[in-house]
Amino acid sequence: MARLRSVLGYSGAVLTLVVTLLTPFLLYGWFQTAIGAAGLRIHPVYSGGDVSHVIQREGYSIVVNRPVLRGTPLARVDSFIQLTWTPAGHLPARVSDEVDLDRDGKPDLMVQFEVPQDAARKLAAEVTPLGGRVKPVHIQGPDSFSALIARVKDGIVVRVPLARQ
């Protein structure tokens, strides 16, 4: 009788372990649907905000996001606007672009940076305002959430701090 109890106990333990390991895989679709239905989104401080418009250049494009105004109490970040040059493989060795942020026909800033062949090399950018919308900055790598340059997937992301909020 004691032997039967120990066999049942071990069998129950093994079955519990198997169910525990399989549950995330079996319920993944349900969790994904529930989270999608909840309307949860990544905060713009981390995602860079929604896309405003895309500027086409010869061989590449510049994705201009909507401005992100201040962070949250937990993520204190200055207001910024995110720009993404994509695809990184088609960029010239030196990028120098005037960008119209608000689509009024006048460029708001000039961004200059070099695109090294070695993807691991640290990036640096020079941002020159052509109006009063953004702050002038020299960015070296990911300095902060509101002023950074980094390779992300197949693009080069530049975040520029806004002059006024």
- Output the pTM of the full model: 0.76
Where does residue 2 fall: left (phi above 0), alpha (psi -120 to 50 degrees), or beta otherwise? alpha
Average of per-residue pLDDT across 101-130: 92
pLDDT at position 165 is 55
- Cα separation, 57 vs 94, whole angstroms: 14
Q: What is the pLDDT of residue 4?
A: 74
Selected residue with higher pLDDT from 85 and 164? 85
Q: Each residue of 39-92: pLDDT tens digit?
A: 877 878 888 899 999 999 999 999 999 999 876 666 678 899 999 999 998 999
More confident residue, 164 or 160: 160
Distance, CA of 76 to CA of 69 (rounded, Å): 11
137-140 β-sheet, strand order: 94-99, 109-114, 124-129, 137-140
Percentage of residues in the chain having pLDDT higher than 90: 49
Pairwise pLDDT comparison (32 vs 91), residue with the higher score: 91
For the chain, what percent of residues have pLDDT higher than 70?
96
